Amino acid sequence: MIKDELRAAIRQALVACYQQQDLDSGEIPEEIQLEVPKNPDHGEYATNLAMLLARAEKKSPRQIAERLTAVLQKSELLEKVEIAGPGFINFRLSPACWAATLHRVLADGANYGRSEVGRGTKIQVEFVSANPTGPLHIGHGRGAVVGDALAAILQAAGFDVQREYYINDAGNQVQTLGRSILARLRQLQGESVEFPEDGYQAEYVAELAAGLRQEQGGLTGLDDAEAVARCAGYGVAEVLKWIATDLEAFGITFDNWYSEQSLYDRKLVDYELDRLRQKGLTFEADQALWLRTTDFGDDKDRVLIKSDGSYTYFASDVAYHLEKFERGFDRVIDVWGADHHGYIPRMKAMLKGFGLPADALEVLLIQMVNLLRDGEPFVMGKRSGNFITLREVIDEVGRDACRFFFLMRRCDSQLDFDLELAKQQNSDNPVYYVQYAHARICSINRNADEAGIPMPDRDQFDFSQLSLEEEVALIRQLARFPEALEGAALHYEPHRLVFYLQELAAALHSYYNRHRVLVEDVRVSQARLYLVNAVRTVLANALRILGVSAPERM
């Protein structure tokens, strides 16, 4: 991308200065810092290099900047190099750069913006992983969309990505589901049985009981334990189908569904615990097996096998995560609800104790979603059964708006999700703002087609016809897309793409309102068609990565 080319040019200039002995410290920073100035008058990029070298060179930043710019003036990339303020060097890119950007966008098409920074690193994104004991609710939605978008962003940045869903089908909560279903089943049979105190009250449990009865009858011949197991098995399988269906409605699919129970069935938990034992990371006390996580930053040691011989949830999680690395992943990202943050130190401690690098596991915490309706808090409780399912929200609000809304904020800040607001199909809803920009360009294309004005190809395109301020602003924005995408990938921050999109859409709308694309002069019209279709390409690419549609008409 342009930024990298500029960086290389600056580095060359610095080396040249040392060779000519204009400068003498010989110091070359590992990475030349380039920033985008807030004020467009300062050009497209700026560097503070001269200020950083001032100490080593024992010269004023401005003196250093003057020597560097003397060399940089000659670069073909640059139209203008200026020294400003305390010693910033500001760069204005040349028209040749802008023309090249447009060619690049249109030639690369759907691939424009992709990069290879990931270098094929095998990375797994595990997300949602909601317990299969009930339908997904709105709180799961945020993690689902962020995980999905992040996976797509990483793919676009050249990582080798797998999306995985971890099914907690081995714990107590599955038993609870089984007991709840069984109670409802017996009630359906007319028996008067007491509903378990800790059972799931919600409506869907009765639905599951009815479905089970239809498929397998009343389970009358079975003893309690067997009946509960049958109910649990049926319930988990059905609920997983619901979850998969709802996620598909949300545009989310997984490469792999990984069962916790399968860890036990394949004796992987024992196997992995043995590996920990052999490394001397465990100890026995109070008839329990402990993992010495305090040696690696946790604030207390953690139980793996309880004194009654059963495994903790932590034990299977340890096994699960160790097994991920045995599957060959270089890096693993877990997307968790922020209420699980206390769990991170023990997981990281475990992996560290095992000798894996500190960044092998990255946990992305997704802060809570406060559900509102008309500005009033909407209280939810799984127990009481008073919750809004994700499916209801998708159906009510629409997939595009819902996804966009969840991606709009940094995930470590809490999110107010107002059902009425998100439902509004009007200008308060930023997703339409972006989609509208795309639809407008499509409309221009239809008109151009009708008027017999063809999109120019690369050789016909005449960049000299594009000289308006708004046109350069648009191209500048297009040139930044690869940077935005790369930043979103390397920092695990999908919201950056959302903000990028809003800025690009704003630049397009502003241009559209001030100037016509299709004018009398065919040469101008064609050049502008070339430009806006580059914009359309980038809008579509970014929206596709975020899983939001790019409509041709609105």
Partner RNA sequence: GCGCCAGUAGCUCAGCUGGAUAGAGCAACGGACUUCUAAUCCGUAGGCCGGGGGUUCGAAUCCUCCCUGGCGCGCCA
Site string for RNA, 423-442 (x = CB under 7 A): --xxxx-x-xx--x--xx-x
Q: Given the complex with RNA, which of 21 and 310 has the nearer CB atom? A: 310
H helices of 408-466, in order, are 419-423, 430-450
Any idea what DSSP says for residue 194? Answer: P
Applying CB under 7 A, does 30 fall inside the site for RNA? Answer: no
**Is 365 a binder of RNA (CB under 7 A)?**
yes
Q: Does 110 participate in binding RNA (rule CB under 7 A)?
A: no
131 binding RNA? (CB under 7 A): yes
Q: In this chain, which of 271, 325, 343, 492 binds RNA, going by CB under 7 A? A: 343
Q: Which two tokens stand for residue 412?
A: 């470590």
Q: Does position 409 bind RNA by CB under 7 A?
A: yes
Which 239-268 positions form the footprint of RNA (CB under 7 A)? none
Which tokens in the block code for residue 14?
Answer: 């610095």
Nearest-angstrom CA–CA distance, 411 and 490? 15
Closest CA to 196 of 205, 204, 261: 205
* Nearer residue to RNA within complex by CB, 301 or 392: 301
Token pair recorded at residue 15: 């080396």
Among 499, 522, 523, 544, the residue binding RNA under the rule CB under 7 A is 499
Residue 313 interacts with RNA (CB under 7 A): yes or no: yes
Measured N-to-C along each axis, helices 399-407 and 495-514 cross at an angle, to the nearest 10 degrees, of: 110
Residue 192: CB minimum distance to RNA, A: 29
Please pick, from the candidates 157, 281, 364, 444, the single residue that binds RNA as defined by CB under 7 A.
444
Tell me the per-residue interface mask from 513 to 552 with RNA, x by CB under 7 A, - otherwise.
xxxxxx---------------------------------x
- Footprint of RNA on 319-338 (CB under 7 A): 338
Distance CA(547)–CA(321), nearest Å, equals: 28
Q: Which pair of structure tokens corresponds to residue 101?
A: 């950007």
For residue 164, the minimal CB distance to RNA (Å) is 18
Contact 32, 10 (CB under 8 A): yes
Q: How many CA atoms lie within 13 A of 424 on its CB side?
A: 12
Interface with RNA, residue 33, by CB under 7 A: yes
**Residue 512 touching RNA (CB under 7 A):** yes
Q: Considering the complex, state which of residue 219 and residue 317 has its C-beta at the smaller distance from RNA.
A: 317
Q: What pairing do the DSSP bridges indicate for beta strands 361-366 and 302-305?
A: unpaired
Angle formed at CA 18 by CA 13 and CA 23, multiple of 5 degrees: 100
Among 119, 241, 266, 340, binds RNA (CB under 7 A): 340
Shortest spacing between CB 421 and RNA, in angstroms:
9
Is residue 413 at the binding interface for RNA, with CB under 7 A as the rule? yes
- Looking at 136-144, 154-162, 214-222, 503-511, which segment touches RNA (CB under 7 A)? 503-511
CB of 378 to RNA, least distance (A): 14
Site for RNA in 153-172 (CB under 7 A): 168, 170-172
Query: Shortest approach of RNA to residue 115 CB, angstroms?
Result: 15
Q: Cβ contacts of residue 164 below 8 Å, gap of 6+? A: 124, 125, 126, 127, 254, 255, 256, 257, 258
Distance CA 370, CA 419 (A): 10
Residue 258: left if φ>0, alpha if ψ -120 to 50, beta else—which one?
A: beta
